[in-house]
Every structure is written in structure tokens, then in C-alpha cells.
Structure 1
Amino acid sequence: MRRRRGPRSAYDRVVVVGAGRAGVAAAEELRRAGFRGEVRVLGDEPSAPYDRPACSKGLLTGHRRPSDVRMPVLDGAEIDWHLGRRAVHLDPDARIVTTDTGERFGYDGLVIATGARTALPRDWPVGEPGLHTLRTLADAWALRGALRDAQRVVVIGAGLTGCEVASAVRTLARDCVLVDSSPYVLGRAVGETVGRLVTREVARDGVQLRLGRRVTGLNRRRRGWLVELDDGDELLADLVVTTTGERPDVDWLDGTGIDISDGVRCDESLRVLGVEGVVAAGTVARWPNLRYSARPRRCAQWIAALQQGRAAAHTLLAGDREVPPVTVVPRFWSDQYGLRIQVCGELPEHAEVMVTELRPGRRDVARAGVLVGYHDDGRLVGLVAVNAPHAFTSITRSMLATTTVTVPAPAAAPVTATAAVPAAAPAARRLAEAS
């Protein structure tokens, strides 16, 4: 018999629950690390793994088809795919995952990467024709078909997904109304400064904005929908798309003893607290990202999910051995209304904000190019760029090269240690002077 190669591991069978970006990354990384045991991936959708951010982009406008957004998987990885199976129960003592098909999957090591699910008010008529959510590939394709005959669309929620949907609707020459309780769009994603600048461009594109308003009623009519707002205004629409929020997909972990109060509670290396042989990654994981804070939080971004999935695989294979903390830098981008929006790092409310206009004097600041840096104690911790891709890339290289770890002190406030590399703040100032 040939001896197995690769790292010594106590595991022969690893089950990955979740076939999104984090789950696939974890399965691939197990093979890259030399793990030769069984790797089984359970996915609740019947389709092959795909690029979820594409659901609110090219799929809606018809520029891309479902086959165009499939996620490439490592060649020769020898992964056993079990798609169309939703995990409904975990027995951590027996180490068994049960699915809605009644199948039981035993494991030695487990990766939880179930992501999040759409969260809607209980009194909304979910399932009625013309009311759409946008979470899965099937959701996106159904909405694409419905948009063909629609003339007026109401989008509830002006976050990243909601604004991308509204942009796609306008690209198709449909009337669009965007509703959100915030006074500006993209507030959580890009901060107030850029949010207000982008709001002007959204309105200039022809989207009818109902900002600072909440939906109080959603009623199906003989033809279309009636959306009632808290100021008494009523909106008529052929279609309603809600992108109001999501919650971690953790119901199947109820009763396991795992802290699932806001996702799956993990340590700094993504080990799930309270159980053995289990790690978590992606949107569902709540862990202390010591690059920024010792407070456990979730990060719902594609690049972070990729990095967490890979890191979780190494943590799992390490067993009880000490591994480095997982310190990812949140990053994402979006193209909408002719704007290239890019974000790197965190955007704390208490940070000092520095705005750099690439073409000072232009009234359309966002379209002309702008950089907004967020500084905390003199350190650049977040950067938002609009139509400034080259400057964004240059500065983020410095941000990514800066290694920062926040170590929880036993009695007082956290102590921050930063590697001796050039800080990104001077780069932002040089850019401001050059422009």
C-alpha cells in the first residue's frame, strides 16, 4: 500500500456545509494542502456553485446567462458534490449532519459555510407573483424574465444590491422607484460622504428616490402592486423587488450549544467555540478580525469569504495546534450608473475623513473621480474610490501590506501592533497634492 502524502491529520472525512464562495474555497484549499481523505460539499441549491454577486449585475440585463457565472473549481480536486440538499440538523457529539432529504453525513471535520438567507417582514405576501427577492441564481433569473414585461419597478432597499438592481432596471429603460429609510443611498457600504455623492448621480440617471421613508404596506392589486409609505404616499408598480436585508443561515444549528446569536461564534482562527473539529467561514462566521478589533463581527463580502474559506481549511487541518489569526481586509467593487465604486478596509463612524477630488471644481464630483480615506489614530483603515481605479489600486497596495493585529489586553483597552511598513495615509496626502 502507498503511504498517504500531505499533512498529518486526525481527519479522514471532512464535510463542508455550503456551496458558496467560502465553502468551495475551503474544499479546494483542503486539497491544495494535501488532504487525501473524503471531502463532501453539501449545497441547498440544485445548481452548480456560482458567482453570487453576479445575480444583481449582468444576469438582470441579459448580458450574462446562468452558465456564464459558474464558479470555476480546482481541477482534479476530487470533491464529492451533494447539491440540492439543505442541512437541517447537526449532532456535534455523533458528528453527523442531517439534510432535508433524510440523508445523514458523518464527518471527522466540519466546515460551516451556509451564508445568509433573505429576511422579510412576516406580514409581507411572500410568494405572490410580482414580489421578488434577490439572493439566489434562481431569484435572479426569475426577476430577469419578469422585467421583460414590466414598465414600473419599485426597489425596496438602497444598499449595494438594491442600487445595482435599480441601475439594471434603468439600463432596460424601465421606470424605477428606490425606497429606503436612509437619507442617502449605499450608506452602510460606502459611508455618508460617498453615499450622498452617489445619490446625486442616481437621481440624475432618472431613478425616482423615496429616501428617508419606510414601507408600511405592501398589497397585491389586480394589476401590479400598491406600496404604501410612512408619509402616506402610495406607489403603483408592476414589480416589487425587496433587498432589505438578510440573516445568517443558522437555524439548523439550534440546540447544538453553539452561539448562533448573530452567526456562528468563532475564535480568531475561525474555530467554532463550544465544539470540536468544526470551523466556520463566510457570511455566517462571527469572529474577531484582529486587524481592526477584538470584537467578534461578521463580514458579508465575496473576497473575504474566499480568504476565510481558505484559512478555515488550514485551521481545521491544524487540529489543536496553534495557527495564526485570520485577519482579512474587507474589499468589494460595484459598477452602477456609470460609476466604478471600490471599497477597501473598514469605514468607522468615528474616523477622520479625508476627501480628495481628482478634478477639483467639477460639479459632478463622483463622476469626475473622488477618493475618501478613513483615518483612525493616524492610520488609514478604509478607502472608498469612485471613478478612480488607478489611485485606488495604488493606495490599497499599501493598506494590504500593512500588518496590524489587535491583541486583547487582560485588563485595559486593546493594544495595537503594526508592522514596520510605510503607512497608507501619506500616500493619500501625496495623491491629494498631485491632483
Structure 2
Amino acid sequence: MRHRTSDLDRIVVVGGGRAAVAAVEELERLGFTGAVTVLAGEPHSPYHRPACSKGLLTGQRHGDVRLSTAAPARWLTGRVAAELDARRQIVYAQTGEMYEYDALVVATGASPVVPDGWPAGEPGLHFLHGIDDALGLAADLRRARRVAVVGAGLTGCEAAHVVRSMARECVMIDSNAQVMTRAVGSVTGGLIADTMRHEGVRMRLGRRVGHLSRSRRGWRLDLDDGSHVDADVVIATLGERPDTGWFTARHADTGDGLLCDESLRVQGVDRVVAAGAVARWPNAWYADQPGRVDQWIAAMEQGQAAARTLLSGSRAAPAAAVLPRYWSDLFGLRIQVIGRLDQAEEVAVSELRPGRRDIARGGVLAAHRRGGVTTGVVAVNAPRQFTTLARAMREAGAAARPVVSLPAVVPNQRRLSLVG
């Protein structure tokens, strides 16, 4: 089926990440034969962003993590969107160029959070987000002796794993009492923190950085308890904010991303869809308030869904139901997550090999539940059990999420914790 009409000949995609690439690929798969122009803000061709806290820190080059852009489109790198004229359907770039469109895909992603007063750009201070950040950090790590990681989320923990694999001292600072709180929940995050301590990561959890300054030896981080940490290199992974500053459409809601309907149409603006970390929409898997999903796989699925919605024109389009799922390997732990973990009323955690001192390495499963329904599952060193539970959740579908029974996949399991 061919999808070129007199009023949909030019599609502009703003952004050059996973969601943008997926949208372009889906447009081609669906037979769109009009002109597709991609405005990619970074000067690089698209790449696997998760590699920024993994392989790129240990010697991989850009070519090793490049995303394919084989689908026919005009890729323009180094074009940062500066302003939108939604009435005339024009995107203005920071270069002064203007790009007219019949339909627009917004996939600008998010930018790293930089605390007020932190001297971004100073040598030895890295806000780990994109490929340039990763390559600059990799060079500094070769010369560093002690590294401070501020922010114990998924990216921060992956960076700490790389630092320790290079036999560098590593101090991790986070305001939470455990690591990876948002990514795996507080209970599992506490078990992972125990493993990281065993691997030599110094933990300053429950602490905030009150002041950051240069010193003779590198950097001094003053903490809120009056203590301080000295480091040669500081890695900051303090979260992200959706990149919407350029989206100047009068009637759009840009609070915490672009507000979209269930099919990713941006509300208040005609012929515009959003995908990836910049999109806030009522995900059918959550069935409550609109929210964002910023994982890598989700960005791909949203890009595909946004393309399908564009080509549906004014007709009804399928809802974009995205079930979050992601994974990581660090400190001998295979961590796998599916579904939603926040707002859980209870977390049932089961230990696969009771009696082991390192509980996480021995295998852990955590089912996050709300209203008697399992909304998410976390597995650590339990790939077979995770596959079974994840399949059950996906087969049930967004309309009827299952209550996952741990005993069905964990024979002789011992209940480690039940948190209300």
C-alpha cells in the first residue's frame, strides 16, 4: 500500500536517536514515498545511546555502535531545532535554515540535568549522556586514580562498573538509601548496592552534594553531612529533562514532555506526533495519568507507532501501548526488568538460592503489584524465570495484566521480603 497523498508529501523528523530512526524505518515499511527530512541535533550519525555508559568507555568507537540509516531519507546532522511555527508548518534550525512540513515527528529526546552552579564544561567533570560525553570521559578515565559518580541510577551504576573494571577507585553518591531506585525498586536496589560494595565501590548513599569545586588534586565534593569526597574525575548522572524548549506552538502542553493522545498525536497542534523520551501520553499499559517512558526499546516502539499514526491521517489510529523492558549486566549481575515499578502497593521478593551471602548474585525475583495486579517484574541472575514471567505479562496484554505467581517459576523459593 502506497502512502503519498497531495497533502502529505513532506515529513520532517526532529531528532536523530532511536525513536527517530524507528519512525523513518516504519514510514518506509508502510510504503510512504514522499520526502522525509531528519534534523539531527548532534554532529554524529545515529548511534546506540546505551553504549555511552558501557562499551564507549572501554574503547569502542563510534562506528562500532552506529545505527543503520538505510531507509531513504535526507539526514541532516548538526541541525538543532530552535523554533516551531505550527500555523505555517515550519521548523527553524539554529543555523537559520527553515524546513517546511506537511507532517512532523518530534523525537528530540531529553537533555541531562545540570545542577545550578556546577561548572559544566570544566575538565574532569562529565555529564554522561551522549557520545561526545562518553568519548571525553573515556580519555579522562585512562589517567584517573579516583572517580566520583554522582547519581546511582542505571547509567551511574553502569559507569561505576566500568570504573572498577579499570581498577580505579570509585565513590558513588546518591540521595537514596540504595542504588537504581527508579530502575529496579528500593528492595532490589538495596541488594544490588550490597554486591557493589563487595566489588569495592565506596557508597555514600542517603547523601547529597552541597557544593562542587576545583581543588589542587582535581575536584572536591562537599556533602550535606559535612564530609567531603576528593576525586580526579566526576561523573554526573542526575537524570534528564525532555527537550521541548524549541517547541513554541501556542496551544501545546510542554510540561514534562509533549502531551499526546493515546496514539501519540501532540495535543493542540495539527499533524504533529511525538515519540521517545519527549512524549507524554496515556500508555494503555498504565491506564492512568499520561506519563513518559524513556527506555531504549520503548523509544523504538514509539517511533514505529508515531509513523503509523501520521499515515492514518484524520482516521483513528491504534493506541500506542508500550510495555517497558530493559536490561543491564554489571558486577556479575544480569538485571532484567519488564513493566511498571513505581506506585506499587506491594513488592514480593523471592530469593532463588537461600543462604548465599551475596543474595543478588544468587538470584532474585521481585514482583511489583498494585490492586492485586502484577505491573512489573525485576529479575537478577534469574533469566529463565524472568522469561517465563515476562511472557505471561506480554501475552495477557494491556487490558488484562496478570497476577504473576512466583511459586510457579521459583520452586522451593523463600520469601525474602514483602514491602507495603
What's the TM-score, normalizing by structure 1?
A: 0.92
Structure-2 separation of matches of 1:338 and 1:59 = 19
Q: 1:39 to 1:255 in 2, by over 3 A?
A: closer
Provide the residue aligned with 2:404 in structure 1. 425
Work out which of the residue numbers 198, 201, 222 in structure 2 matches 1:228.
222
1:12 equivalent in alignment to 2:9: yes
Which of 32, 36, 42 is 1:35 aligned to?
32
Q: Distance in 2 between matches of 1:90 and 1:334?
A: 37
Q: Does 1:22 align with 2:22?
A: no
List per-residue Cα deviations over 1:124-159 (Å, max 9, x = no partner).
Answer: 111111111111101100000010110001110001
Residues 85 and 249 of structure 2 are in contact (CA less than 8 Å); yes or no, is this contact kept in structure 1? no
Q: Which residue of 1 aligns with 2:104?
A: 110
Specify which of 394, 401, 425 is matched with residue 395 of structure 2.
Answer: 401
3-state secondary structure, aligned to 1:382? strand
Distance 2:288 2:309 in 1: 19
Counterpart CA distance in 2 for 1:256 and 1:66 is 38
The aligned runs of 1:157-172 (5 Å cut-off) are 157-172=151-166
What is the TM-score with the length of structure 2 in the denominator? 0.95
Secondary structure of 1:371's counterpart equals: strand
One-letter amino acid of the counterpart of residue 165, structure 1: A
For residue 403 of structure 1, report the CA deviation from its aligned partner. Answer: 1.6
- 1:58 maps to which of 44, 55, 58: 55
| Offset, 1:257 | 2.6
The 3-state SS of whatever aligns with 1:209 is: strand
Q: How far is the alpha carbon of 1:363 from its aligned partner?
A: 2.1
State the shift of 1:7 in Å: 3.3
Matched-pair contact (CA < 8 Å) for 1:61–1:171: no
Distance 2:221 2:64 in 1: 34
Flag as ranges the 4+ runs of structure 1 deviating above 6 A: none
Deviation at 1:308, TM superposition (A): 0.3
CA distance in 2, matches of 1:15, 1:24: 12
Q: 1:373-423 deviations in whole A, cap 9, x for unaligned? A: 112233221000001112111210111111224xxxxxxxxxxxx28xxx3
User: Among residues 293, 299, 302, which one is paired with 2:287 in the alignment?
Assistant: 293
The alignment yields a C-alpha RMSD, in angstroms, of: 1.4
Contact 1:375 1:425 in 2 (8 A): no
- AA in 1 matched with 2:387: T
Does the CA-based 8 Å contact 1:17-1:87 persist in structure 2?
yes
Deviations 1:25-57 (A, max 9, x none): 001100100100001111011111000011001
Deviation, 1:349, is: 3.4
Whether contact under 8 Å (1:395, 1:424) holds in the other structure is no
Deviation at 1:177, TM superposition (A): 0.5
Following TM superposition, by how much is the alpha carbon of 1:20 offset from its aligned partner in structure 2, in angstroms? 0.3
Of 324, 339, 342 in structure 2, the residue corresponding to residue 345 of structure 1 is 339
Count of residues paired in the alignment: 412
Runs of 5+ unmatched residues, structure 2: 414-420
1:70 pairs with 2:66: yes
- The question of whether the paired residues in 1 share the 8 Å contact of 2:347 and 2:366 is answered with yes
- Percentage of pairs with the same residue: 53
CA distance in structure 1 between the partners assigned to 2:26 and 2:282 by the alignment: 22
Q: Which runs of structure 2 are paired with 1:146-157 in the superposition (5 Å)?
A: 146-157=140-151
Amino acid across the alignment from 2:65: V
Q: Within 5 Å, give how 1:309-328 maps onto structure 2.
A: 309-328=303-322
User: Could you tell me how far apart the structure 1 residues matched to 2:3 and 2:84 are?
Assistant: 27
Q: State the distance in 1 between where 2:322 and 2:345 align.
A: 20
Pairing 1:199–2:196 present: no
Q: Judge conservation of contact 2:199–2:331 (CA < 8 Å) in 1.
A: yes
Amino acid aligned to 1:125: P
For 1:212 and 1:294, locate their aligned partners in 2 and report how far apart those are by CA, in whole Å. 31
Alpha-carbon separation, structure 2, partners of 1:353 and 1:60: 34
Paired residues of 2:182 and 2:342 also in contact (CA < 8 A) = no
